[in-house]
Amino acid sequence: MLLIAIVVATLAAGIGSVWLAAALLRLGMGARWRVGPQHLLSLAAGALLATAFMQLLPEAFEEHPAQPLFATLLLGLVFFFVLEKAELWHHGHEHGAHGETPRDDDEPAPSGHAHPHHHHGPGGWTLLTGDSLHCFGDGVMIASACVADLRLGLVAALSVLAHEVPHHVGDLVVLRRGKRRAALLKVSLAGAATSLGGVAGYYIVGRWETALPYFLVVAASSFIYVALADLIPQLQRRLSAMQALVQIVWLLAGIVAVLLVSALAHHAH
């Protein structure tokens, strides 16, 4: 039963985020009064931080000495920094890379999802390989949360979905220079790696269940790193007072969404 729940949660986060990204692009993402890239980035940052600090870390610290877990949190942040430096875990959220001028929130602009040069391999396979590895890691983290508590797993899956949507929007913009259906299929296959990671995580965490608090802390460090090192820096640009307020509202919406889903899951349980 738990394994089935993990597979469903990881499929929803991995492939669901791809289809949601495709739907947003089809609807004209970034047009006035519609959801734009900056909105999604703000929402995702809020959801990731809330999941890490309000869900994963409290669960990990509940019945475990604090010092080794804080050390694990620190090492986790350093680990993801090193992986990104080595371009093994590149998340591909770059907006306005290579000196491009960032656009306003309500401007529809595929160039707002510019990817660095190393993402452009033949057929985009370099991009998809990196995406698949990242999605696999997301699946392991969702599985760790599910093993600790199914409600926690639901919140983690929601946060992964939130931060993968702007990521997959960028992927689809790059890949659909060819055929749209082929691009959607390729990115969906990469997203499906989330379920493979979920199954692997289920067996790994199940075998070393005593290490579950450490798995949760590593998951939290990943969420914190993505939010603070990847998403929020893209929001720190010169904006009008209204645009800045909208960013803050969307960030708070991500936090509230996590707390609301957690409360609803707790009530249903």
Digit-coded pLDDT (tens) for 168-184: 887 777 776 657 777 78
Is pLDDT of 112 > 60? no
In this prediction, residue 113 has a pLDDT band, given cuts at 50, 70 and 90, of: very low
The two structure tokens encoding residue 266: 């707790």
Evaluate whether 187 touches 172 at the Cβ level (below 8 Å): yes
The two structure tokens encoding residue 229: 């090192």
Is pLDDT of 35 > 60? yes
Segments making up each domain of the chain, as ranges: 2-28+36-268
Q: Tell me the one-letter amino acid at 61.
A: F
Whats the size of the chain, residue-wise?
Answer: 269
In this prediction, residue 219 has a pLDDT band, given cuts at 50, 70 and 90, of: very high
CB 135: neighbour CB atoms within 10 A? Answer: 31
Cα(264)–Cα(241) distance, integer angstroms: 34
pLDDT at 134: 84
Radius of gyration of the chain (CA): 18
User: Quick one: average pLDDT of 140-154?
Assistant: 92
User: Quick one: average pLDDT of 234-240?
Assistant: 82
Greater model confidence, 262 or 124: 262
User: Quick one: average pLDDT of 91-108?
Assistant: 40
pLDDT at 239: 77
Longest dimension (CA), the chain: 53
User: Quick one: average pLDDT of 214-243?
Assistant: 89
> Residues 264, 267, 269, CA angle at the centre, nearest 5°?
110
Q: In sequence order, which residues have a C-beta less than 8 Å from that of residue 170 and are 6 or more positions away?
A: 92, 93, 94, 95, 113, 114, 115
